[in-house]
Amino acid sequence: MSVQETESVRERKRRMIIGLTILLLVALVGSLFLVPQRKDNQPVNSIDPPKMEERGFGEDGELDMTNAQTIRDGVQQRADESMLELVINNNPIYENGKVNWMIENPAKNRKLLQVDVYLDGKVIYKSPTLKPNQKVQTAEVDLSYMKAGTNKVVAAFNFYDESTKYLVANNSMVINLTIKDGGSEK
């Protein structure tokens, strides 16, 4: 090989190395602009996650498990207090101007109770406010405008806090109200 050929080969190698270096730099710079930048330690391509509320911190240390039964009883008591029992006659009968609703607010509910009964979205009965351990056995109601037979009605139970009188829970159920001899044909 001649000196000229050797210099030409060296020149080609040098140009190839420079070209590859420039290509590598362009690829590196391009990737920095094309890849989304993470902000606030968020994962790439994510929607802003909900941020934690500032609530302070709990107590240091582990739970005292020396009396596990007391803990279980306390948890069960809390669960029982949060449960509300619905008591009503599923098949009340209207007869002689009265309905045997048999609505009860059990003592364990510990809330005030009002029950409204609806037929086709219209209130047909409103119970008095029942304290825990009170009931409505039967109530006088004028349903003489209703046809004799069985009607599906909705009993809406509204529970209120005794001290604030604010609504704390509500629920409803469908019951079958039978209109006997007191009802008339429309």
The winner for highest mean pLDDT among 6-10, 72-76, 164-168 is: 164-168
Q: What is the pLDDT of residue 8?
A: 82
Nearest to 160 by CA among 87, 116, 126, 111: 111
Residue count of the chain, please give it: 186
**What are φ and ψ of residue 134, in 5° steps?**
-120, 165
* H or E stretch at 8: helix 3-34
**Distance separating alpha carbons of residues 64 and 179, to the nearest angstrom:** 60
pLDDT digits (tens, 9 = 90+) for 140-160: 999 989 989 999 999 999 999
Q: What is d(CA 86, CA 118) in angstroms, rounded to the nearest whole number?
A: 16
Please give the pLDDT value at position 30: 76
| Strand stretches in 22-111, DSSP E | 93-95, 98-99, 103-105
Residue 100, both tokens: 């045997």
Predicted TM-score (pTM) above 0.95: no
Per-residue pLDDT tens digits for 89-110: 999 999 999 999 999 999 988 8
pLDDT bin (cut points 50, 70, 90) of residue 185 is: very low
| Mean pLDDT computed over 125-130 | 95
| SS3 at position 38 | coil
